[in-house]
């Protein structure tokens, strides 16, 4: 059963991947998670992938 009032990990991932199957509660939860756990992102790399500060560029 899917409760639209509660964030869903699957829908949070969909939000991060640029999908269309997420709700505002999922986006808010994803942003809160990023603020608590993600390293700062500096600039985009190839193929729409972002590289966190201090990480090497991906080899293509």
pLDDT at position 41: 58
pLDDT at position 40: 63
Q: What is the mean pLDDT of residues 24-43?
A: 82
Query: Using 50, 70 and 90 to split pLDDT, how confident is the model at 12?
Result: very high
pTM: 0.60
- Count of CA atoms in the C-beta half-sphere (13 A) of 45: 13
Query: Using 50, 70 and 90 to split pLDDT, how confident is the model at 43?
Result: low
CB-based burial, 24-35: b 16+ in 10 Å, e otherwise = ebbbebbeeeee
């Amino acid at each position: 059963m899917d409760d639209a009032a509660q964030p869903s990990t699957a829908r949070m991932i969909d939000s991060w991947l640029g999908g269309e199957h997420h709700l505002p509660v999922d986006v808010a939860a994803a942003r809160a998670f990023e603020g608590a756990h993600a390293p700062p992102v500096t600039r985009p790399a190839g193929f729409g992938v972002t590289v966190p500060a201090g990480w090497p560029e991906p080899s293509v």
